[in-house]
Each structure stands twice: as structure tokens, then as C-alpha cells.
Chain A
């Protein structure tokens, strides 16, 4: 132990002597670890946020949308709707308890003198409130739920300050297509920028405003009866929809997406897995490059210090002593790089998280766990030692007389 302490001392001295090169080498590791820590913590944070949102969907929900989920843009822009017959078909499917229909569209809203295009969602309050509270995690920060049929609005948490210059308050008047609406409730954050900057109103009022045919909708959320198999119900809904379409328009091509929240989770999960894999792969490459940097520095160091190695061996250093000194040196470089990288990575991840809170694109937290930090430090130390091993072994194997003779 006494000896290791002294070897450590010698290694530190040697790093200090070559400070510029040492720092450049450390920088190589810093970049690698920085990438790993920041990207992993952010992707882990995104994953957690997604999971949280999915959990708030509740396990027993089925979402029915026209179009194909795998082509999201086409789905939202196609303008296809769930017709009245479609909704009825969903409602009469076995195992379905409640069908909550929703529509959404961008409309111009005026607050004071200012007009802005905003996202409006229409949903039936009568059926809707309970489901939204229970399964979508909706809750009011202020005010109350609107009375069905009255021209009242609930706004997302960001509408208050982010949408109009003039803050929107409880009781503020919003004019949409010449009709006056009163803000009666403000929601707590729902976890996405789009949801939080939307306006919510009763579906029938929404349809009056937009001219959408009564009884139709853009999307339906289905609550399944207790004890029913969600996947089975989803299958049945699909079948019923297909049959309805066939009967009505004589085509057996029905383009619907019927997705359970579980499946949504699977989709999100597999996307995240791909992203994380890519992150680990790229950061891994960065670390390998950093490791090669250490190896290069250590080889140079061994060459430069051949004479020193010769001296140490002449005055009684065993091979293992020389090996240990060089390994410690490489380990320190790796470890310092790890500290720097972990620190910078944490700072970056936390700044992005803070930026996301101030200018919300989407909410996510950077997940920096003690485990991740320890991983960053240990990993970089190990990379340092591994990269230092071959140079160290080369140093240890030098014959004292050859080492002393060199550069004479």
C-alpha cells in the first residue's frame, strides 16, 4: 500500500510534467464521457417522460383514429373522420363501456386586440371529464370544468402566459369566429407543449364553430368494461368498423388505427430502444477514440521515459512496479477525463432540462442518477487502464541496460 502510494505520486508528477499533452489526452476522454453522460441522461429522461405520459393514459384505453398510425403526418392532415356510423359501431362493440369522441383543429382566437392561431380540442364534457381525469391525468389548477352547452373554455397551463402578450386569466374573454367564450378553468400541465397550449371546449360548440358535422369526430377514446380483454375489444372494434364501411360504401378497405395504450407504449419503447442504441454506439466510438488517445500518449511517454524506466529498474524497480506506475498514470488520465466529462455532461443535460422548462418544446427531465455518474467515472478509469496496459507492459519489459543505453 505504501508502495502504491509512492507509485501514485510518481505517476502524478509525470502527468504534471507533461501537462499540455496530459490535458489534451484528458480532453479526448472528457468528450467521450461527456457525450455518454449527457445523451444517456437525456434519453433516459425522455423515456421516463414518455412512460409517465403513457401511464397516465391508463391501461384500459383504446384509441381509434382514421388513417394509419405508422404515417402520422398523413393521418393528421388527411381530414378523414370517424363518421356517425363508425362511432356507433364502436359503441355497440362488446366490452366497450364509454366512447369519448374528440376533434381538434387550429383556429384563430382573439384575446383583446391580439389574434393568434391556436389549437382547439372539442370533447364532450358530459362523458369526458371523468375519463380525462381518471385516464389522462387531467386536473384543474384553477377554476372549474365548464357546464356542457355553455360557451366556456378550459385552457392548458401555458395559454395563461405563453400564447398572448396579455396574460389570459380566469374569466378572460376569448373570441373565436366572432363568438365570445369565457375562460372558466386552467389545467395543470399535461406534459406536452401542444396539450398545454391548447384550448378545450365542448364538442357540440366546437362543431358549431368549425362546421363539423354533428355526431362525427376525428378521434375516439374507448374505455373498456372492467374484466374485458383490451386486445380482444380492439380487434372487435376493428372488425365492426370494417363491416360498417363495407355496408355503407361498398368497399372493404377501411383505414383505421385501433391502438391500445399498451401498444402505444410498445411503439414508443421500441423507438427509444433504437435511439438509445444509437447513442451508446456513437458515444462508444467517442470513448474508443479517447482511449486510443490515452494509448498514444502513454506509448510516447514510455519512449520518452525509457531512460527513467532504465534508472528505476537499475535501482531495484521490479517489472510489476514499472507496470503499476504506468497503469496508474493511464488510469488517472482516464479518471480525470471521466470527472470532466461527467461534470460537463451533467451540466449540459441539466441546462437542456432547464431550457425545456422555460421554453417548453416538450417536457423532459434529465435523468442523472448516482449510478450513471459512477458508471461514467468507473468506465473512464477502466478505459484509461485498458488503453495504458500495452504501453505499460512495454515499459515494464524493457531491459535496464537497453533502457539506459537508449538516447545516450
Chain B
């Protein structure tokens, strides 16, 4: 059996909001197998973003363990974790989260900078990636000069920059109209199918879920349904 990309083991997350304790995750167990396309669904306030932060190793659980490629992240130093996260996980955010001062090419190349790739390598790869999302004409444009859909495509290209094993997308179409959103999902699905990459998407949009093979429903910090089996049904559409 191949190593799980990400494994969550009885993960709890408790936020201290003044005197009030807010439990966002209540004993979550989740396994993301290599090559899977997982959608996490739930209403707002259900804890899905918190869960995504755990899966993306952006946050540490209050209790329980998170394994990234079999390694317990609580055992890693912050530097080791950044390095591993940068190499293993690509992020796509709802607000695109591009660096406003850098142009499209530089934004896509940035994750490679942190992995110590050479300038040549970075430019070549970033250009290829931008071309693959159909932005070869816009590589020297700054985010402010791009439309929402274009920005998200840049963000997608950036997520794939370090050839990660898993791409985590947080409401990737949330700020886009449905046509643009559909295109973005097509790019993402295409990457998944062509490269066999693992994709984890958080959304509350059932249309998005229809692209995936596995749907995890979360409510009040707990997984209520794991539609692994339902995948076939959804996918056949």
C-alpha cells in the first residue's frame, strides 16, 4: 500500500476566543490517498477551512496528529515543515493570494525560489505552467492587470510549480462567475487526470463536488459522511 499523502488522526482544534472556547474540529480522522480527488463540503462555520489548514499543514492541531507523507508534523521544526510543505503541497485560495508586486511569471516562480531552484529552471518551468493554463500572453502582467479568472489560473500554475504531490484548493471558484469557475475546475481536473496528482478541494458548491471522486461532508467539526462510494455515481455524470 502506498504511503498516504496526508493522514489526520483524531485531530482536535480548539480556538480560545477571549473566555469562550470554540471547538472547530472534534476528533477528525481522514486519509488522503495518492492520486485521489477529494472534496470537503459543509456549510459555513462547519470547520472545513480549519480542516483544510490541518490538511495543508498550515496549522497545528490542539490534539491529535497530522502526518504529511508519513511524517508526524509536530516532530518537524518550522523550517523543515516549510520546506516539506513547499515541496509537497500546492495551494489555491479563494482570494487567489498572489503577491501584488510581482508579475504572473514571478508569482509562479516564487515557490521554486524557496526550494532553491536556479533562475533558468524557474523561468522555464513557470512559462510552461502559465502556457498550460492558457496565459502565455500575460506572463509579465501584474495581478492587478489580470481578471479574476486569470488570477486564479496564475494561482493554479503557482500551485503546480514545485511539482507537488497534492494540491489543496480552498473555495477556488468562490470569487468567480460560474463560467470562469468551470474553466478553473477543468484545469484542476485536467492536472489531476494527466499528472495523477492528489487534489483536495474545500467548497460548499455541489457543482464543484461533482468533479471529485470522494466527497467528505463536515458539520460542526465532525465528518458526517464520507462518500467514497458515491464517487462513481458523481463522476459518471
Q: Which of B62-103 contact A (CB under 8 A)?
A: 78-79, 82-83, 85-87, 90-91, 93, 95, 97-102
Distance (whole angstroms) from the CB of A403 to the closest CB of chain B: 9
**CB <8 Å contact, A308 and B99:** yes
**CB <8 Å contact, A17 and B100:** yes
Residues on A with C-beta less than 8 A from B95 are: 408
A315 to B118 Cα, complex, angstroms = 17
Given contacts A2-B118, A315-B114, A316-B83, contact A401 B101 (CB under 8 A): no
Stretch at the interface among B51-59, B174-182, B190-198: B51-59
Q: Is B2 an interface residue (CB 8 A)?
A: no
**CB <8 Å contact, B82 and A316:** yes
- Give chain A's interface secondary structure class: helix
Residues on B with C-beta less than 8 A from A307 are: 97
**CB <8 Å contact, B82 and A13:** no
A141 to B102 Cα, complex, angstroms = 67
Given contacts A10-B101, A10-B102, A14-B101, contact A318 B83 (CB under 8 A): yes
Distance (whole angstroms) from the CB of B161 to the closest CB of chain A: 8
**CB <8 Å contact, A319 and B78:** yes
B58 is contacted by which of A13, A320, A401 (Cβ under 8 Å)?
A401
A317 to B56 Cα, complex, angstroms = 14
Residues on B with C-beta less than 8 A from A279 are: none
Distance (whole angstroms) from the CB of A89 to the closest CB of chain B: 83
Q: Which of A393-408 contact B (CB under 8 A)?
A: 399-401, 404, 408
Q: Is B116 an interface residue (CB 8 A)?
A: yes
Q: Mark B106-118, 1 if CB is under 8 A from A, else 0.
A: 1000110111101
Q: Is A175 an interface residue (CB 8 A)?
A: no
**CB <8 Å contact, A404 and B116:** no
Distance (whole angstroms) from the CB of B159 to the closest CB of chain A: 8
Given contacts A307-B97, A312-B99, contact A319 B110 (CB under 8 A): no
**CB <8 Å contact, A318 and B79:** yes
Q: Is A78 an interface residue (CB 8 A)?
A: no
Query: Which residue of the partner chain B has the closest CB to A9?
Result: B106
Q: Mark B146-163, 1 if CB is under 8 A from A, else 0.
A: 000000000000100110
A315 to B162 Cα, complex, angstroms = 9
Given contacts A2-B118, A6-B113, A307-B97, contact A316 B102 (CB under 8 A): no
A310 to B161 Cα, complex, angstroms = 18
B111 is contacted by which of A16, A315, A319 (Cβ under 8 Å)?
A315
A323 to B205 Cα, complex, angstroms = 39
A320 to B77 Cα, complex, angstroms = 13
A123 to B95 Cα, complex, angstroms = 90
Given contacts A3-B116, A10-B102, A308-B99, contact A313 B53 (CB under 8 A): no
Residues on A with C-beta less than 8 A from B224 are: none
Residues on B with C-beta less than 8 A from A321 are: 114
Q: Is B14 an interface residue (CB 8 A)?
A: no
**CB <8 Å contact, B114 and A2:** no
Given contacts A13-B102, A401-B53, A404-B97, contact A316 B85 (CB under 8 A): yes
Q: Is B22 an interface residue (CB 8 A)?
A: no
Q: Mark A290-318, 1 if CB is under 8 A from B, else 0.
A: 00000000000000000110111111111
**CB <8 Å contact, A318 and B58:** no
Given contacts A6-B113, A10-B101, contact A315 B91 (CB under 8 A): yes
- B residues sitting closer than 8 Å to A (CB atoms) are 53, 56, 58-59, 78-79, 82-83, 85-87, 90-91, 93, 95, 97-102, 106, 110-111, 113-116, 118-119, 158, 161-162
Known: A314-B91, A315-B114. 8 other contacts (CB 8 A): A6-B119, A312-B110, A313-B82, A315-B91, A315-B110, A318-B114, A401-B53, A401-B58
- What are 20 pairs between A and B in contact, CB < 8 Å? A2-B116, A2-B118, A6-B119, A7-B113, A10-B99, A13-B101, A16-B101, A308-B99, A311-B97, A311-B98, A312-B99, A312-B110, A314-B56, A314-B97, A315-B91, A315-B161, A317-B82, A319-B78, A321-B114, A401-B53
